[in-house]
Amino acid sequence: MDIDNTNGLNNTSKAPRGLIVLVVLTLINTGFSVLSALFSLFRKAPTIKELQGGKVEMAKSIIELKNRGMDSMVSFMEQIQAMTEAMQPFYIQSNIVNVFIFACGAISAILMYRRKSNGFHLYIIYNLAAAGSLYLFISPSLVPTVIVVTNLILSFVFVLLYARHLLWIRGEY
């Protein structure tokens, strides 16, 4: 067992299982997100015809929801449609931003696994950036509140789960 002579801390202790699980989950999520954004970049933006087809399908879904009396879902679907249309001119830019944001998430997880406390701070920044990145391109009124709230709640839960391992990350464990 190696002991760091400068501060007497044990730097070779194994990472806690919980931290390993969190890192793996984060790397899976960020990896798929980066790949998805990269594939979107290499694929050209949807054509007007494809967008119209999507709009027709969304209209059919909205009519079906109205017929079933699901008015709250109708409102949500209309907001999603409006958000999608508003994001279209920023297709390339939003995917580039997403690549960088999710790459930061992956880097932060790796840094925490390597016992770098800056990784935890980068992870918090990544979560806030991921939750708010839509606001860089479109009006906040077009973003359904439920999407932002859900992202922030999930982010908060994962930040708390990582925070449980801060002592180990800092080498104080």
Q: At what angle do helices 71-87 and 48-67 cross, to 10 degrees?
A: 170
The whole-angstrom separation of Cα 153 and Cα 65 is 27
At 91-147, the pLDDT tens digits run 999 999 999 999 999 999 999 999 999 999 999 999 999 999 999 999 999 999 999
pTM to 2 decimal places: 0.82
Total H helices, total E strands in the chain: 7, 0
What average pLDDT does the segment 14-18 reach? 93
**What whole-number distance in Å separates Cα of residue 60 and Cα of residue 172?**
58
Mean model confidence pLDDT for the chain: 88
pLDDT of residue 11: 56
